[in-house]
């Protein structure tokens, strides 16, 4: 159990490490960091921001924790940390902030961190002790200065023993999360962003759970998610259920993207009707109670049997971008292939056992940043690189080799793009019981 508890803290540390040095000069709603899995562009940007006084010199920040565990719980890694840190775009620690402790209890789970348009940060943290538990919703103001101010309210109803997703509903100033219902699953919970009070929960429906995510429609204020049981749910802001139905999704299906202008989702999944399972990407109209399949896209045979595919990123035109090694591809809003691009040679695929973890998108420059990394395999050589690809043509602009000289397992996070200038990339290395430092790199965008 101890390992399980420690698993979660890294997420907070990781996410907060990625808080950036920012000014608010960008009105793009997609720029707001909406969930732990990132926004629709998968950039994980915490605020609409530009790098300030960015030196363009690449840097790496390293945090060596005292004891860390790699567990079988997905991609989580344990860390005995109890603080958050904010790095500037030049890699300088702007601040560190301790979690508010709870006497005789230990942290049990944390959410991702979100930022609103005013740069206020929010996260939830759960605590457990001997047959006791509680939780807090915390707000951090002045995060852009060297003197952040943290204010937490305690509410045991927010307890979640695992990673909780936290999303922002801008239209109604709501915070959307998942809280524990019983030992097996979670249910949705919605809070008032201004008063930090719990507004509603709904025990009839499962929440997004540990790996899930919420998507909020910026024009209607409706809230979507696909739960662990692969059912797509839609609620209005007051908690009224608008959709409750299965999609074809299976297993990997919880990673979906919402086209916020058109009430359409795009979702990769695996078709289990044939062996081996086949990758499929489908698009659904989710404007009405009956979910309508718009199209299904079958990938080229070279990746059809792959297990892994990144979450989609979607642009203003509704074109979705994904990668499943060795390919990256763009699918237009009608389900037609715009381009496919090869990111690695077949000999690299063999030697390094590569898979893609994330597609981050700079929609202004029309550039994708795709993270590819070696699978953890004893004895296999490891490689980690980010490929910058033109969104219009699929042409590879540059392969940024990250030179992570390690043959240990790498657990990468999604890059955070800051304005058009730089990006943050963070990762963990190593395996239990060795030290597995958390590292963050700052590099210039192409």
> Residue 296, interface with ligand NAG (CB under 6 A)?
yes
Task: Decide if 23 contacts 411 (C-beta within 8 A).
Answer: no
Order of strands across the sheet with 241-246? 214-216, 223-226, 231-235, 241-246
Rounded to whole angstroms, the Cα distance separating 67 from 80 reads 6
Q: Which residues contact 175 (CB under 8 A, 6 or more apart)?
A: 114, 122, 137, 166, 167, 168, 169, 190, 191, 192, 193
DSSP secondary-structure letter at 249? -
Task: Decide if 217 contacts 167 (C-beta within 8 A).
Answer: no
Of 3-32, binders to ligand NAG (CB under 6 A) are 25, 27
Q: Which of 280, 286, 313, 422 binds ligand NAG (CB under 6 A)?
A: 280
Question: Total binding residues for ligand NAG by CB under 6 A?
Answer: 22
Cβ 108 to ligand NAG, closest distance in Å? 27
> Residue 290, interface with ligand NAG (CB under 6 A)?
yes
Q: Which is nearer to ligand NAG, 31 or 126 (CB)?
A: 31
Q: Which of 8, 281, 314, 400 binds ligand NAG (CB under 6 A)?
A: 400
Angle, alpha carbons 328-357-407 (nearest 5°): 115
Of 43-62, binders to ligand NAG (CB under 6 A) are 53, 55, 58, 62
Distance of CA 414 to the CA centre of its chain: 7
The pair of structure tokens assigned to 168 is 């922002």
> Residue 305, interface with ligand NAG (CB under 6 A)?
no
Q: Which of 150, 241, 244, 340 binds ligand NAG (CB under 6 A)?
A: 244
Cβ 48 to ligand NAG, closest distance in Å? 9
The CA–CA distances, whole Å, from 124 to 102, 156, 162 equal 14, 11, 11
> Residue 275, interface with ligand NAG (CB under 6 A)?
no
Q: Which is nearer to ligand NAG, 138 or 402 (CB)?
A: 402
Phi/psi of residue 418, each to 5°?
Answer: -110, 110
Q: Which is nearer to ligand NAG, 197 or 240 (CB)?
A: 240
Q: Which of 104, 147, 274, 378 binds ligand NAG (CB under 6 A)?
A: 274
> Residue 335, interface with ligand NAG (CB under 6 A)?
no
Task: Decide if 168 contacts 174 (C-beta within 8 A).
Answer: yes
Q: Which is nearer to ligand NAG, 53 or 104 (CB)?
A: 53
> Residue 230, interface with ligand NAG (CB under 6 A)?
no
Q: Which is nearer to ligand NAG, 285 or 353 (CB)?
A: 285
Task: Decide if 191 contacts 137 (C-beta within 8 A).
Answer: yes
> Residue 146, interface with ligand NAG (CB under 6 A)?
no
> Residue 437, interface with ligand NAG (CB under 6 A)?
yes
CA-closest candidate to residue 312, choices 300, 323, 298:
323
Which stretches of the chain bind ligand NAG, using CB under 6 A? 25, 27, 53, 55, 58, 62, 64, 244-245, 271, 273-274, 280, 289-290, 296, 400-403, 437, 443
């Amino acid at each position: 159990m101890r390992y399980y508890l420690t698993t979660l803290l890294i997420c907070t540390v990781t996410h907060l490490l990625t808080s950036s040095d920012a000014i608010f000069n960008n009105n793009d709603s997609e720029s707001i960091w909406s969930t732990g899995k990132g926004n629709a562009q998968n950039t994980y940007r915490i605020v609409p921001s530009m790098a300030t006084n960015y030196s363009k010199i690449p840097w790496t920040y390293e945090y060596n924790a005292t004891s860390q565990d790699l567990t079988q719980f997905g991609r989580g890694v344990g860390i005995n940390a109890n603080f958050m840190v904010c790095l500037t775009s030049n890699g300088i620690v702007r601040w560190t902030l301790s979690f508010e402790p709870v006497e005789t209890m230990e942290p049990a789970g944390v959410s991702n961190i979100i930022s609103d348009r005013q740069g206020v940060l929010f996260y939830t943290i759960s605590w457990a002790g001997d047959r006791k538990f509680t939780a807090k919703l915390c707000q951090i103001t002045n995060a852009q200065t060297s003197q952040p101010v943290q204010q937490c309210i305690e509410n045991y109803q927010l307890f979640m023993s695992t990673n909780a997703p936290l999303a922002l509903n801008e239209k109604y100033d709501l915070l959307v999360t998942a809280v524990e219902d019983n030992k097996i699953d979670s249910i949705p919970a919605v809070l008032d962003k201004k008063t930090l009070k719990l507004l509603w929960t709904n025990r009839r429906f499962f929440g997004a759970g540990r790996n899930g995510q919420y998507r909020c429609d910026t024009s209607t204020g409706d809230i979507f998610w696909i739960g662990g049981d692969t059912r797509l749910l839609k609620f209005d802001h007051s908690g009224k259920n608008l959709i409750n139905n299965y999609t074809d999704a299976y297993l990997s299906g919880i990673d979906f993207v919402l086209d916020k202008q058109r009430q359409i989702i795009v979702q990769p999944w695996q078709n289990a009707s044939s062996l081996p399972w086949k990758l499929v990407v489908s698009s659904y109209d989710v404007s009405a109670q009956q979910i309508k399949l718009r199209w299904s896209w079958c990938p080229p045979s070279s990746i059809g049997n792959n297990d892994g595919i990144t979450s989609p990123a979607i642009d203003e035109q509704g074109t979705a971008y994904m990668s499943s090694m060795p390919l990256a591809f763009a699918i237009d809003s009608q389900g037609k292939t715009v381009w496919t691009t090869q990111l690695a040679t077949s000999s690299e695929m063999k030697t390094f056992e590569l898979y893609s973890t994330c597609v981050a998108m700079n929609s202004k420059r029309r550039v994708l940043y795709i993270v590819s990394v070696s699978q953890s395999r004893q004895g296999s050589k490891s490689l980690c690189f980010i490929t910058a690809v033109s969104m219009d043509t699929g042409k590879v602009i540059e392969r940024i080799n990250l030179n992570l000289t390690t043959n240990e397992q790498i657990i990468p996070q999604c890059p955070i793009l800051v304005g058009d200038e730089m990006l943050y990339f963070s990762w963990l290395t190593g395996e239990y019981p060795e030290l597995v430092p958390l590292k963050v790199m700052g590099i210039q965008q192409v």
